[in-house]
Amino acid sequence: MELTDEFKRIGIRLRQEGLIGAVFGNLSVRGDDGFFITRAGSYLDDPGSLVIVPFSGPMPPEASSEFRLHREVYRKTPHHAIVHAHPPHAVAISLVRDEIIPRDSEGEMFCPSIRVVEGRPGSDEMAANVADALSLSGAVIVRGHGTFAGAKTLDEAYSLTSSVEHSCRVLFLLHSWEDRRL
């Protein structure tokens, strides 16, 4: 399967699951001398041609605005693929928590602790904070912004993204139910 087809397949899954909307989010895969990333403003379920970003030097202007973050994650971690999404429950919970501890069995297994970090989208601060978090775990949430998952493959990073949202949805439902009991 070609890399563009792989990006599209993962983008379709993210869209179907409600983990992205419109042109939110981006995907990348590490290459030998750089990485392949989605274009700025592209739909992940139909990303078109990919952009090659070198590990150092100037950035192609058509690359996603999150290129700094992807570059920093590849510099600091062994991850070969990154999925950035905007799952609504994860984003909502990130506004009130600094760490998310899943209570569901899959979340406990795959993401036992999910850090929430700060940083303005596209900033060096966000890039450093996410890269530091992904050097310790497979997934992180940027407060009020979205999730980043790093793994060996896009499939694995997608699965982590889905798991984070599932765990956050379970926590939301659990707390809604507990509030009704009071």
Query: For the stretch 67-79, what's the b/e string if a residue is b when 16 or more beta carbons lie within 10 angstroms of its beta carbon?
Result: bbbbbbbbebbeb
The pTM of this model reads 0.94
- Separation CA 14–CA 88 (nearest Å): 12
Three-class SS state of 139: strand
pLDDT tens digits, the chain, 182 residues: what are they? 699 999 999 999 999 999 998 889 999 999 999 999 999 999 999 999 999 999 988 888 899 989 999 999 999 999 999 999 999 999 999 999 999 999 999 988 888 999 999 999 999 999 999 999 999 999 999 999 999 999 999 999 999 999 999 999 999 999 887 666 54
Sort strands 139-142 and 114-117 into parallel, antiparallel or unpaired. Answer: parallel
Task: Count the Cβ atoms, other than its own, within 10 Å of residue 60.
Answer: 14
- Separation CA 77–CA 90 (nearest Å): 23
Residue 57's pLDDT is 86
For domain 3-181, the CATH architecture is 3-Layer(aba) Sandwich (3.40)
Nearest Cα neighbor of 141 from 103, 98, 105, 174 is: 98
- The ranges assigned to domains in the chain are 3-181
